[in-house]
């Protein structure tokens, strides 16, 4: 998770404005998860199977992305669920293709 947040920080830090930060952060997340499908599955699906500790870790990750990108927590939680659904469908390598769909969700809140 630390590497993912470092990349989000790097991507968002180079941008000005909420829309640009959202796009850069989402793009960084999608690219990293697509490059490593087993880690994508671990961070988006299997973490929730760890019970309360996993749920807390998942909540912390959602809060961290929301803070960095300027998106609302509920929108980020929905985006995380959407990413997890794509990962479960075996589409982790295709995650960057869903950037616009993800941004639409993140921008609604």
Please tell me the predicted confidence (pLDDT) of residue 76. 92
- For 70: left if phi > 0, alpha if psi spans -120 to 50, otherwise beta; the answer is left
Summarised one tens digit per residue, pLDDT across range 6-31 is 888 888 887 788 888 888 889 999 99
Summarised one tens digit per residue, pLDDT across range 36-64 is 999 999 999 999 899 999 999 999 999 99
Phi, psi for 14 (deg, rounded to 5): -85, 0
Please tell me the predicted confidence (pLDDT) of residue 86. 95
CA–CA distance, 18 with 4 (Å, rounded to integer): 19
């Amino acid at each position: 998770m630390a590497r993912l947040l470092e990349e989000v920080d790097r991507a968002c830090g180079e941008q000005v404005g909420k829309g640009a930060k959202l796009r850069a952060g989402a793009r960084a997340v999608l690219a990293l998860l697509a490059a490593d499908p087993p880690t994508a599955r671990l961070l988006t699906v299997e973490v929730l199977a760890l019970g309360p500790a996993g749920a807390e870790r998942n909540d912390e990750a959602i809060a961290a992305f929301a803070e960095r990108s300027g998106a609302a927590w509920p929108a980020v939680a929905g985006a995380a669920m959407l990413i997890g659904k794509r990962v479960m469908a075996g589409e982790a390598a295709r995650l960057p293709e869903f950037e616009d769909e993800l941004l639409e969700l993140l921008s609604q809140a």
